[in-house]
Copies of this chain bind each other. A is one copy, B any other.
Amino acid sequence: MNIAIAQSGGPTCAINASLIGAFKQGLLSERTDAIFGSINGIEGMIGDELINLKSIIRTNEDMELLRQTPSTMLGSCRYKLPVFKDAPEVYEKILHTLEVHQIKIFLYIGGNDSMDTVVKLSDYLESIGSDIRVIGVPKTIDNDLPITDHTPGFGSAAKYVVATAQEIIRDSSVYSIPSVTIIEIMGRHSGWLAASTCILRANGEEAPHLIYLPETTFSADRFIEDVRREMAKHKAVVVAVSEGVALNTEENGIEDFQSGKEDVFGHKYLSGVGKYLERLVSEKIGCKVRSIELNVMQRCSSHICSKTDIDEAESIGREALRAALDGHTGKMMYFRRVSDVPYAVTIEMTDAVNVANLEKKFPVEWISPEHDQVTDAAISYFLPLIQGEVDIMMRNGMPVHFQRPLQMR
């Protein structure tokens, strides 16, 4: 039978590894024939923009290169599938694409919004008596999906963030004058990625001296008090702050540090908390201060990806196709952790509805009572996820990326 794979949401370092996992399993299975890639997520299914993956991924080197190429090889989308009764024609277009290409399995690699698509599409196909199966493969650097122990893409993002935070700590401490350095880290409304900087303590670092997460409320006054307290102890204070930190803008007397616009899923575009805190320190304390936004580098720096993450991403892609071949639909694959040391996970499945549109927050019990640090208990959770380095293929001193066919650029 023919299968189609699509990638959705924000890029990660591991999303192409999941594609390769499913693709390889498709090559291996006697039950699969053509393997299609849908261009720009579900948009490619609606508009019948498919490519024959076997004509693009042709060699073992191609597969290796894709494993080390960040971002989504097939393109992505932020398209929200409407509910059926509002737009039946969209579902009929997808059905048409599936039927024209005799596709029996659709794998969707994405985050909690993409799982909403898995639920809606699989429900629709079941409701019309179709045997076409839809399986979700999790993916997000935010690590904010329920049920799964962690998400593919997170480990690599954390490895980059932690290594970079450590380098920023070195950089920040060179001058003799007191300074504050604020590192703004992605994660939307969950603090997982910012919290991961706590594992630097496993290597003897004292910084970041302060870590602020969206899971607790944030007070500008208390922040300044915290910074003053740490400045009394350390010449160069380093702060890790999650982009989604819950600023109570009224209480804190600010209005416009966020753009306030919302994307199609109703998510506010988050940005600027680092700059806001920089100005705050400058005004209230008046010392040397710098804010650093890790920006898209934290989701695409595959040159320092986690081997554990990339290997797991490939495995969960493979298992997704197996589950679909076994007749499952409307499910999302997930990791269940069996043990921290030695680290072991199994790959399971759950109804995608248990994940769709839901967010998993960073556990409040791993946040210090003062809401300015992460406790040691979190270290054993994070550590296994960043282990191992991928031996990156280099050419001319630069990592080699898989280059998409010209028609896709």
Among the listed B72, B386, B409, which residue makes an inter-chain contact with A234, where contact means beta carbons less than 8 Å apart?
A: B409
Task: Answer yes or no: A40 CB below 8 A from chain B CBs.
Answer: yes
Task: Answer yes or no: A399 CB below 8 A from chain B CBs.
Answer: yes
Cβ contact within 8 Å between A235 and B409: yes
How far apart sit A293 and B297, CA to CA, in the bound complex (Å)?
Answer: 10
Cβ contact within 8 Å between A71 and B171: yes
Task: Answer yes or no: A59 CB below 8 A from chain B CBs.
Answer: no
Cβ contact within 8 Å between A164 and B297: yes
Task: Answer yes or no: A217 CB below 8 A from chain B CBs.
Answer: no
Contacts of A69 in B (CB 8 A): 170
Task: Answer yes or no: A347 CB below 8 A from chain B CBs.
Answer: no
Cβ contact within 8 Å between A303 and B163: yes
How far apart sit A399 and B389, CA to CA, in the bound complex (Å)?
Answer: 11
Given A71-B170, A170-B300, A234-B409, 11 further pairs, Cβ under 8 A: A39-B176, A69-B170, A75-B173, A162-B398, A163-B303, A167-B302, A203-B395, A203-B398, A290-B296, A386-B398, A387-B396
How many monomers of this chain does the complex have?
2
Cβ contact within 8 Å between B175 and A40: yes
The B-contacting residues of A in range 358-408, CB under 8 angstroms, are 383, 386-389, 394-401, 403
How far apart sit A296 and B165, CA to CA, in the bound complex (Å)?
Answer: 11
Contacts of A72 in B (CB 8 A): 174
**Chain A interface residue number, banded:** 35 or more
Contacts of A400 in B (CB 8 A): 203
Cβ contact within 8 Å between A167 and B303: yes
Contacts of A336 in B (CB 8 A): none
Cβ contact within 8 Å between B397 and A388: yes
Task: Answer yes or no: A117 CB below 8 A from chain B CBs.
Answer: no
1/0 contact string of A156-167 vs chain B (CB within 8 Å): 000100111011
Cβ contact within 8 Å between B296 and A399: no
Task: Answer yes or no: A193 CB below 8 A from chain B CBs.
Answer: no
Cβ contact within 8 Å between B175 and A76: yes
Task: Answer yes or no: A43 CB below 8 A from chain B CBs.
Answer: yes
Which residues of A line the B interface, CB within 8 A?
11, 39-40, 43, 69-72, 75-78, 159, 162-164, 166-168, 170-176, 199-200, 202-204, 234-235, 290, 292-293, 295-297, 299-304, 306, 383, 386-389, 394-401, 403, 409
- Shortest distance in angstroms between A198's beta carbon and chain B's nearest beta carbon? 12
How far apart sit A56 and B295, CA to CA, in the bound complex (Å)?
Answer: 37
How far apart sit A293 and B76, CA to CA, in the bound complex (Å)?
Answer: 24
Residue of B nearest to A202 (CB): B396
- Shortest distance in angstroms between A251's beta carbon and chain B's nearest beta carbon? 28
Cβ contact within 8 Å between B168 and A300: yes
Cβ contact within 8 Å between A174 and B398: no
- Shortest distance in angstroms between A161's beta carbon and chain B's nearest beta carbon? 11
Cβ contact within 8 Å between B409 and A171: no
Among the listed B40, B292, B383, which residue makes an inter-chain contact with A397, where contact means beta carbons less than 8 Å apart?
A: B383
Contacts of A78 in B (CB 8 A): 175
The interface centre, meaning the residue of A40, A203, A306, A395 with most chain B CB atoms within 10 A of its CB, is A203
Cβ contact within 8 Å between A303 and B300: no
Residue of B nearest to A394 (CB): B389
Residue of B nearest to A175 (CB): B76
How far apart sit A199 and B396, CA to CA, in the bound complex (Å)?
Answer: 9
Cβ contact within 8 Å between B387 and A397: yes
Residue of B nearest to A292 (CB): B295
Residue of B nearest to A76 (CB): B174
Cβ contact within 8 Å between B401 and A166: yes
Residue of B nearest to A200 (CB): B398
How far apart sit A396 and B383, CA to CA, in the bound complex (Å)?
Answer: 7
Contacts of A77 in B (CB 8 A): 175-176
A-B contact pairs, 14 of them (CB 8 A): A40-B174, A40-B175, A70-B167, A72-B174, A76-B174, A78-B175, A163-B303, A163-B398, A163-B399, A164-B301, A167-B300, A168-B300, A171-B296, A303-B304
